[in-house]
Amino acid sequence: MEVQYACTLADYVEVLTTARSRTLKQKIFGAVIALALLTLGVAAMVGLGFRQGVATLIVVVLLPGFWLIRRYVGFPFWVKRDFAKHPNFSRERTLRVDESSLTWSSEVDRSETKWQAFSRFQETENLFVLYLGERLAEAVPKRALAGAQLDEFRQLLLRKLPQQPNSSDPRSVHASLA
């Protein structure tokens, strides 16, 4: 099978947010850090002369506020800037898929990767994300695959690679149960 595509900024965001799924250990660590920041924030405010109730209220409002600003202002700004620094991600590419490997080519490069090099894949709403490691991935947009090609590619991935279920895409959970 051979397909052509160019990845977009939306694809880049989807790859980054898909790769950011966290383990229970990481979530617990994050919660501990958040509690420590709350406690230290309140202690610092009390040290500056605020009453404990007022200090707690200020910290409880400000910390989530900073998180929201980081998430909804800082992250999109950073992603757009980072996307611009990776011009090959959005370059028109041709992908040839067979039983032994995947071969990508564009006007500036050509690479062949054997199936054994991939550790797993994840199907999202718009992409197939093939992982070469924990943070190194190749994205194949579903829009590049015609109806029969989409199912053929999904079945090949299921045969060749372990799948990481994605709770936001019911098809990937259903496919992993089949």
Q: In the predicted model, is pLDDT for residue 176 greater than 60?
A: no
- Helix then strand then coil, % of the chain, to nearest 5: 55, 20, 25
What pLDDT sits at residue 142?
92
Averaged pLDDT of the chain: 83
Q: pTM for the complete prediction?
A: 0.68
The three-point CA angle 136-169-105 to 5° equals: 40
Domain boundaries, the chain: 2-8+89-177, 15-84
- The pLDDT value given to residue 29: 92
- Phi, psi (rounded to 5 degrees) for 166: -120, 110
Quote the DSSP letter at residue 163: B
CA dihedral 134, 140, 142, 145 (to 10 degrees): -140
Chain centroid to Cα 62, Å, comes to: 27
Structure confidence by residue, pLDDT tens digits, 135-158: 788 889 999 998 888 989 988 899
Q: How far apart are CA 178 and CA 51, in angstroms?
A: 59
Sheet strands side by side (includes 137-141): 120-123, 127-131, 137-141
Q: What is the pLDDT of residue 175?
A: 41
Structure letter (DSSP) for residue 48: T
CATH annotation of 2-8+89-177: 2.30.29
Q: What pairing do the DSSP bridges indicate for beta strands 120-123 and 93-97?
A: unpaired
Q: What is the pLDDT of residues 20-62, one digit of tens each?
A: 667 788 889 988 998 898 888 889 989 999 998 888 888 888 8
